[in-house]
Structure 1
């Protein structure tokens, strides 16, 4: 896609220092860690919340689904603004909002009040999630993007693990209210720091032809015909449905069907997720860059193979009663899933014009959550009420398999876009 509208001279100083770029990457990655810490605290606190508010599995699933519903609807709006306004201000405002809302979750005395607080967390996270990858793509050249985005997305397993561990310990030792109070505190500091991050020029690392404004309707028309983007989004959505549902229900499964205490379940889930996620994400960043140098869409093809390998492992893990073998299989499944974090997101930012990246990320976020983990916690809870939680998680391996096939197709169709 191209544009005939020249970009206005930037009033923001150019970001040329590698030190400055890595400083911004560090701040954004720490924010992403806190993002997932706050998101996963609720999953390990869920048994206590269910007990206090007398909830069924289906009702408990609403808490996760409502959060995702708000988050996904707000993401395209944030992406639209992110292509037009200083992105660091959107990041800072989003972090401060969701951190205050996380703390407010601990004050909730009714299930409705807790739902409202979690909705505000969703709005804040949307203000950050849609624009952060576009900032990173303007700080680093294409040859490094998969690796630096992998570093950014390491925060997902590490933050999830911290949420599991911190939420489990605080909920058991004190109360689920205390878990939310503590979880909301770090984001207040990082939100203030985000105001002082560099603001790179859009397309700064893609050559002069990339530094142009793109009329919204022109960009939307080009995105609509971008087959690789939609196949990537389909694969990402199927993966998100499955991994989001698993992450939401795994601690409860370990407590109810494997006899663990909430604290042990949270710590064990967190340790496995953090280790598999860290190793898988770093390996995926390195392999993704290597595969992309060998062929267009190489990282996406690798991601597809990873999901195909993970699907049977997810199914097998629920068939094993002994804790050590079960966690070993879960580790392998998560390793193959987390291979995809850097390559998938690098493919999205590299496959659309620089001036349309934030909106493309926001639209991607809309779909992966609207048809993914916005509905999977409730869907898995409903299947669990009708049969068992173990059967519901076994069935959850099917979307991973289909997601792998979608990413293989996306890799075949991928073409890099610079303007």
Structure 2
């Protein structure tokens, strides 16, 4: 009966021999990752020293091909191969890949990059994520997504039996409190923007135009994301209808190698939507249409050179306008939450989700709707639970 073959990455019994005085050799048969069984040897001043050296050599033995994913590959190299695979598959957007690369660069490589795949144990990764999450919860969550996919790739290539990221402790999420703007807050917002737009005598640089006020009005009229608003073209609106509409069919994105551009699809399938505009938004757009200048993108909002407006520049303008108003907590996304909260109260959560372009009402309810601080008056209903004898 023939001797059973060694499993891949394992070795047989270790043999020692004294070759010359005080010079020992330890040898073993090792089945490499290409399936070939080879002799591996190490030397030392004693039999035990030679065996220790051999065990280290066997443990650290790696495949001759740097692209073959195996337990001895370092996470730095695995990350490179994972990113290459994502690019080749072309199934996710370039900005998502850029976000993964950011997690690799800022979190995973500095702390774990030199580990071998087999050294990525549950305990070691759990300590890493807890350390990062203590200071940067969002950074830890992003790194967890990236590392889970990397090690999932290692599992597919049989370099790991299971994905250790799945067994780490859950990362805590800070309790989210959704805050929407009140009518008083909105009046303060508009007053702040008007003051910011008012020309200051002797102040250098170009005067502020009405873009910020109009963008905020459209955010409030639609509940859209800032990237969706700034990606709007005149072709996307129909002001001639009895109930004028606006269609969100794209968004602005930034990719390092390409710069800022209009992506011809929205964040998700549900985000591609047509909304009916309220009267104040129609009036604003009609006014802009009268004074609109041509630009290569046919954009509703554009720079002085006709290029797309950068979302970060609009956010910077809003921060300047809100200064000293007590509205430091208000961001463009706050207007989106305000719309969701109003629609939830006056219509339904379903209507709010569809207006915002969410596929799930749960997302809208959890992250975009401010919960009522006072419960509805149901005292008459609860009165039926009273004790009749207590009132006799």
Higher RCO (Cα < 8 Å, 6 or more apart): 1
Give the TM-score taking structure 1 as reference length: 0.21
**CA radius of gyration, larger in:** 2
Kindly indicate which of the two structures has a greater share of residues assigned to strand.
Answer: 2
Give the TM-score taking structure 2 as reference length: 0.23
